[in-house]
């Protein structure tokens, strides 16, 4: 993934003039933030924020690539222009608001998204958009998920 951003940085930006290019899911980086260094720095901060080391599988001594992908999605959103919009659950939401929610994400939220994504029984057509929405919702759902799990075990 990091190599992808490094290649993107080496290319000149393409301005199609379309407003939709500023919206998530359009195939471009929203907010036009393609600065590789800022994404790498933000990825390091996100990995600290979510305690990435906690995701190491002790048996295999590696981290599932989905955890890094989730961290990269968080980092990408956190470097976007706060005055742009992003699609979350099919609705255009201010990046400023999404950044506030994403800044609350901890390792239990990432783990919840990881577990839920691995339990999805249907095909996910736009994985990045799906995971963005799942990360956003995890901040609101984590507590209720724990209560719901406790009720099921009674």
37 has a pLDDT exceeding 50: yes
Write down the pLDDT at residue 146: 57
Mean pLDDT over 58-86 rounds to: 95
Q: Residue 15: pLDDT above 80?
A: no
Stretch 62-70: mean pLDDT, rounded? Answer: 95
Q: Which residues of 95-119 are buried (b: 16+ CB within 10 A; e: fewer)?
A: beebbebbeebebbbbbbbbeebee
pTM for the full predicted model: 0.72
pLDDT at 130: 96
Would you state the pLDDT for residue 142? Answer: 76
Measured CA to CA, the distance from residue 130 to residue 138 in angstroms comes to: 12
Domain ranges of the chain: 2-153
Cβ-Cβ contacts under 8 Å for 92 (sequence gap 6 or more): 23, 85, 86
């Amino acid at each position: 993934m990091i190599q992808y951003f490094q290649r993107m940085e080496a290319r000149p930006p393409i301005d199609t003039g379309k407003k939709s290019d500023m919206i998530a899911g359009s195939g471009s980086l929203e907010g036009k933030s393609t600065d590789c260094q800022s994404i790498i720095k933000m990825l390091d901060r996100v990995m600290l924020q979510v305690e990435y080391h906690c995701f190491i599988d002790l048996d295999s001594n590696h981290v599932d690539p989905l955890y890094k992908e989730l961290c990269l999605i968080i980092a990408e959103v956190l470097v976007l222009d706060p005055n742009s919009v992003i699609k979350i659950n099919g609705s255009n939401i201010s990046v400023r608001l999404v950044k506030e929610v994403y800044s609350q994400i901890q390792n239990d939220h990432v783990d919840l998204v990881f577990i839920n994504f691995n339990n999805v029984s249907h095909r996910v057509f736009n994985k990045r958009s799906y995971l963005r929405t799942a990360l956003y919702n995890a901040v609101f759902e984590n507590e209720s998920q724990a209560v719901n799990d406790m009720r099921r075990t009674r």
